């Protein structure tokens, strides 16, 4: 039986969340770890944007956005109801993930690579990102995860980016006033699900 093919890059936060959703849903895939400097021709053919993750299904369909891959996986199987617990919660989770992708991620990029964005200081970019961290901390004052006691769609979609933010200045993050957020992040990093999708694969070589 042909497996879906997932073009991935181990350290990419978008690919991380896609891999986690697929593993959680129990969907076996062929992982093709790519080199960002030498992307496979097949990847370019099936997805002109040529950025990971890209999921190629056996029936010829291609899903090339990480959130679409997550939602496709959850539509196949969602044993802990990451989505669908209530319409209102789903709307709120999608809104928070959108804020992560459209506001927090650009701030993260500038904070991580301040030399590429000399318009402001690194600390100013960090402050931009902190607005989102404060929002998450406030949510976590109410329960252990963003919307309930256990992880759901929003937790998995957002946490790889918070992880990346925490790694820019680890000492600063360890002392910052985000106790609940640090606990939440540590739980996600130490989870069997995350550990299972961080297995190292050799770079996939195109046949021929």
Cβ proximity of 64 and 54 under 8 Å? yes
Using alpha carbons, select from 65, 30, 70 the residue that is nearest to residue 159: 70
CATH number at residue 123: 1.20.1050.10
User: Domain with 56 in it: what CATH number?
Assistant: 3.40.30.10
The verdict on 163 and 182 lying in the same domain is yes
Is 204 domain-assigned?
Answer: no
Tokens for 91?
Answer: 């709307």
Q: Confirm whether 206 is domain-assigned.
A: no
The reply to whether 185 and 103 lie within a common domain is yes
Three-class secondary structure assignment of 23-64: HHCCCCCEEEECECCECCHHHHHHCCCCCCCEEECCCCCEEC
- Whether 98 and 133 map to the same domain: the answer is yes
- Same domain? 63 vs 149: no
Same domain, 121 and 185: yes
Residue 75 lies inside a defined structural domain of this protein: yes
Peptide bond just before 40 cis, omega within 30 deg: no
Q: Residue 208: inside a domain, yes or no?
A: no
List the pLDDT tens digit at each of the 208 positions of the chain: 799 999 999 999 999 999 999 999 999 999 999 999 999 999 999 998 889 999 999 999 999 999 999 999 999 999 999 999 999 999 999 999 999 999 999 999 999 999 999 999 999 999 999 999 999 999 999 999 999 999 999 999 999 999 999 999 999 999 999 999 999 999 999 999 999 999 999 999 888 6
User: Is residue 123 a part of any domain in this protein?
Assistant: yes
Domain count, the chain: 2
Decide if 93 is inside a domain. yes
Q: Residues 6 or more apart from 119 whose CB is under 8 A from it?
A: none
Query: Which structural domain range is residue 109 located in?
Result: 87-192
User: Are 108 and 59 in the same domain?
Assistant: no
For 61-113, where are the alpha helices, taking DSSP H only? 66-76, 87-99, 105-112
Q: How many angstroms separate the CA atoms of 63 and 15, rounded?
A: 12
Residue 154 makes CB contacts below 8 A (sequence gap 6+) with 93, 96, 97, 146, 147
User: Which of helix, strand or coil describes residue 14?
Assistant: helix
């Amino acid at each position: 039986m042909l497996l879906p093919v997932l073009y991935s890059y181990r350290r990419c936060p978008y690919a991380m969340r896609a891999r986690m959703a697929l593993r959680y849903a129990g969907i076996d895939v062929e992982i093709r770890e790519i080199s960002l400097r030498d992307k496979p021709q097949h990847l370019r053919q099936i997805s002109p944007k040529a950025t990971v993750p890209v999921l190629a299904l056996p029936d010829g369909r291609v899903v090339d956005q990480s959130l679409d891959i997550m939602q496709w996986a959850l539509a196949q199987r969602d044993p802990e109801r990451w989505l669908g617990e209530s319409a209102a919660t789903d709307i709120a989770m999608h809104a928070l993930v959108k804020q992560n992708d459209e506001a927090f991620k650009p701030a993260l990029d500038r904070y991580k690579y301040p030399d590429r964005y000399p318009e402001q200081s690194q600390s100013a970019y960090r402050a931009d990102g902190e607005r989102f961290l404060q929002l998450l901390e406030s949510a976590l004052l109410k329960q252990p995860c963003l919307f309930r006691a256990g992880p759901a769609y929003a937790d998995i979609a957002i946490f790889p980016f918070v992880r990346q933010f925490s790694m820019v200045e680890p000492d600063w993050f360890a002392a910052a006033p985000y106790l609940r957020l640090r606990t939440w992040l540590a739980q996600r990093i130490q989870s069997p699900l995350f550990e299972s999708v961080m297995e190292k694969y050799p770079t996939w070589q195109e046949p021929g």
